[in-house]
């Protein structure tokens, strides 16, 4: 059954779930929600299945009209969201009526907000996932006019606001935990200390990876192309660090000096250009 229609797309809005696991051998990126913790929280609050898909909204969210009565929740980055003019808060389940309009505005704290819906977004499953990633899926983001279905309702008897976590989690931490990568010891002792004792500024970012601004200023030996995965920290020939994220390639030829923990990947998903981080070796 049609549940919502996208009136405006926002900056970069996509359908995401747990991603495509086990297809790296075919060259297929994992994809999936950048902040897996926030996405999983949306399903938990809605009593959805763990694997149900949600909308991932980056910086500025979409405008949505409800085509039927439906429960929804906002998790992840705190945003200026309103339902027919009524301000909403994060981590609280609301019930929208048919015809009501949800506007997910600018992110106020963080980078990515998740809009979860009762029953999850019911789009086509491709290689075990509903996550959008072009060209595995027809498009990489939702478009104006898209009509999306949701699955079987789990919250028909729940009133708006009855399910609520009082403290909305906004991951502000600048500490990013890492473990040693396969080529960690390509770094000199001095550069290993620099790696974990200085701040790095985010220079650019997208779902594929995050480039850090300050170089380590050390030439290291090249490697043969090897496997990489979300959270791999590569050292480029210029000395700059590049952190791979959910839509990253499955192999790479730059030294893999570190690997982010799963929690650290979620934290990085809420960072944007100009934010500073410190890498902490576990």
- Give me the domains of the chain, ranges plus CATH numbers: 2-149 (no CATH), 175-281 (2.40.100.10)
Average pLDDT over residues 238-266: 97
| Other beta carbons less than 10 A from residue 193's beta carbon | 11
Confidence (pLDDT) at 222: 81
Q: What are 26-55's pLDDT values in tens digits? A: 999 999 999 999 999 999 999 999 999 999
How far apart are the C-alpha atoms of 191 and 217, rounded to whole Å? 9
**Cα-based distances in Å from 266 to 63, 92, 245:** 25, 21, 10
179 pLDDT exceeds 90?
Answer: yes
Predicted pLDDT of residue 156: 63
The answer to whether residue 157 scores a pLDDT higher than 60 is no
CA proximity to 45, closest of 194, 171, 160: 160
What pLDDT is recorded for position 173? 82
Tokens found for residue 73? 């929740």
Helices (H), ranges, the chain: 36-46, 189-197, 262-268
């Amino acid at each position: 059954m049609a549940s919502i229609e996208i009136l405006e797309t926002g900056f970069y809005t996509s359908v995401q779930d747990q991603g495509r696991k086990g297809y790296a051998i075919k060259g297929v990126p994992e994809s999936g929600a950048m902040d897996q913790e926030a996405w999983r929280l949306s399903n938990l609050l809605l009593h959805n299945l763990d694997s149900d898909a949600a909308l991932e909204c980056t910086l500025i969210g979409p405008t949505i009209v409800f085509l039927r009565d439906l429960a929804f929740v906002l998790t992840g980055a705190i945003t200026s969201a309103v339902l027919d003019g009524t301000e909403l808060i994060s981590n609280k389940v609301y019930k929208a009526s048919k015809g009501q309009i949800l506007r997910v505005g600018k992110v106020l704290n963080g980078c990515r907000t998740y809009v979860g819906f009762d029953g999850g977004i019911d789009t086509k499953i491709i290689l075990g996932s509903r996550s959008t990633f072009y060209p595995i899926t027809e498009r990489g983001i939702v478009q104006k006019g898209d009509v999306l279905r949701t699955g079987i309702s789990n919250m028909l008897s729940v009133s708006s606001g009855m399910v609520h976590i009082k403290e909305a989690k906004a991951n502000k931490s600048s500490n990013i935990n890492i473990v040693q990568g396969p080529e960690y010891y390509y770094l000199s002792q001095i550069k290993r200390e620099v790696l974990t004792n200085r701040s790095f500024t985010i220079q650019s970012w997208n779902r594929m990876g995050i480039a850090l601004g300050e170089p380590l200023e050390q030439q290291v030996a090249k490697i043969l192309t090897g496997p990489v995965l979300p959270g791999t920290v590569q050292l480029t020939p210029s000395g700059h660090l590049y952190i791979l994220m959910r839509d990253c390639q499955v192999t790479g030829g730059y030294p893999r000096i570190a690997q982010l923990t799963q929690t650290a990947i979620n934290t990085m998903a809420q960072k944007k250009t100009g934010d500073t981080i410190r890498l902490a070796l576990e």
